Amino acid sequence: MTFDKRKIVLIAAVSLATLASVVAIVPPRPDGAGASRGLFAARSPETPKPAPASLASSNANDVRSAEAADTVATAGTKAVEAVETNAVAPAVAESAAQQNRALKDGLSWTFGGKPQRGWAIYVPLVQRLVGTEDDAASAGFAASIARWQKRVGLTASGVLDEATLMRMISTWQARRRKGSTYPRPDELLTVPATEFWDSSRADDLRQVERQTYAAYKRMLAAAVADSSVQLASRNGELAASEKYLKIISAFRSREYQDRLRKLEPNAGRGALAVNSPHFTGRALDLYVGGEPTITKDSNRALQTQTRAYRWLVRKAERFGFCPYFYEPWHWEYCAQ
């Protein structure tokens, strides 16, 4: 063998070895980072992904893939449905339903450093997310939970346990507005007092970002036109006497928020927020029943039963609004 031939053989051998090692390294990355995983999840939502070892749902990639998978879910293609029909066996769904019955009011979890109990308050949002109207204690609901779990890479148990709830919360949270850009004065307009829940609210506290207000008006017209919401109306507009879906609060300046914090040290988390989405003028607190903006469980449980709230959960998204899961009254204009 000449020197040249030996050199070529050596180079070929090294190249093969390199290729083999690359092949060995690359494939086992089911949890591959970045957009590729999101795309993969979007195309093949039925592909099981390993369940996160811990509550890794705060991981941005997880959130993106859950988001992508959920978009596919909403599209509801026949192929996806066919694959998912058997996400969980009927007997498993029945036993999961029994566990859900207990967890609905009993699951212990934490949010914002505060202990929480159960997930009954979030049932309308959960039903919307997993695409079912079945009762939370039913086998049908458990089967829908299992399909969603499978889609986002969790174990398809059908049980709405803490890991599943945390994943749902990160999915909801990922849809919210990012940042809190302060609007220019010309981006805000002052809404007539009659459109506010408290019609005596001062002018400077009735400002809303223009696009958000236009979207709100379109949404309101649709709600008024939908007889199932049973809103009192006059000439296609919300009647002056109607309280539901009126604006409680919209744009809040930093100065106002500071003042609120000093005046009401015991006010809710929203009022105390140092970096509130209300700074953008694109967050609206809408009246959905009960005490307008009190986070007490009993109040939120009441609010999430109202026709107005349930309508928002089903329809607000198509007008560009996304919910803040924890506060039934708080909706953000998320369309860019």
CA–CA distance, 168 with 196 (Å, rounded to integer): 32
330 binding Zn ion? (CB under 5 A):
yes
**Closest distance between Zn ion and the C-beta of residue 285, in Å?**
4
**Closest distance between Zn ion and the C-beta of residue 242, in Å?**
20
| DSSP designation for 50 | P
Within 13 Å and on the Cβ side, how many CA atoms surround 107? 21
84 binding Zn ion? (CB under 5 A):
no
Taking the least distance from each CB to Zn ion, the nearer of 148 and 213 is 213
Taking the least distance from each CB to Zn ion, the nearer of 176 and 314 is 176
Sign, Cα dihedral of 58, 60, 65, 70: positive
Taking the least distance from each CB to Zn ion, the nearer of 147 and 282 is 282
Residue among 148, 285, 328, 333 that touches Zn ion (CB under 5 A)? 285
Size of the chain in residues: 336
Taking the least distance from each CB to Zn ion, the nearer of 118 and 270 is 270
- Residues with Cβ within 8 Å of 299's Cβ and at least 6 positions away in sequence, in order, are 290, 291
From the list 10-18, 27-35, 63-71, 270-278, the region that binds Zn ion by CB under 5 A is 270-278
CB 51 within 8 A of CB 152: no
Q: Count residues near Zn ion (CB under 5 A).
A: 3
Taking the least distance from each CB to Zn ion, the nearer of 47 and 180 is 180
Q: Helix, strand or coil for residue 197?
A: coil
**Closest distance between Zn ion and the C-beta of residue 325, in Å?**
13
CB 309 within 8 A of CB 289: yes
From the list 119-127, 238-246, 279-287, 304-312, the region that binds Zn ion by CB under 5 A is 279-287
332 binding Zn ion? (CB under 5 A):
no
Taking the least distance from each CB to Zn ion, the nearer of 151 and 330 is 330
The single residue listed with the structure tokens 């029943």 is 289
Distances (CA, A) of 314 to 121, 207, 228, 307, 308: 16, 26, 12, 11, 10
**Closest distance between Zn ion and the C-beta of residue 249, in Å?**
6
Closest chain position to Zn ion (CB): 330
**Closest distance between Zn ion and the C-beta of residue 197, in Å?**
13
From the list 63-71, 133-141, 268-276, 312-320, the region that binds Zn ion by CB under 5 A is 268-276
CA–CA distance, 251 with 328 (Å, rounded to integer): 18
Number of other CB atoms surrounding residue 88 within 10 Å: 25
Alpha-carbon dihedral of residues 83, 88, 90, 92, nearest 10 degrees? 180
Taking the least distance from each CB to Zn ion, the nearer of 37 and 330 is 330
The single-letter code of the amino acid at 71 is T
In the complex, the residues that contact Zn ion under the rule CB under 5 A are 270, 285, 330
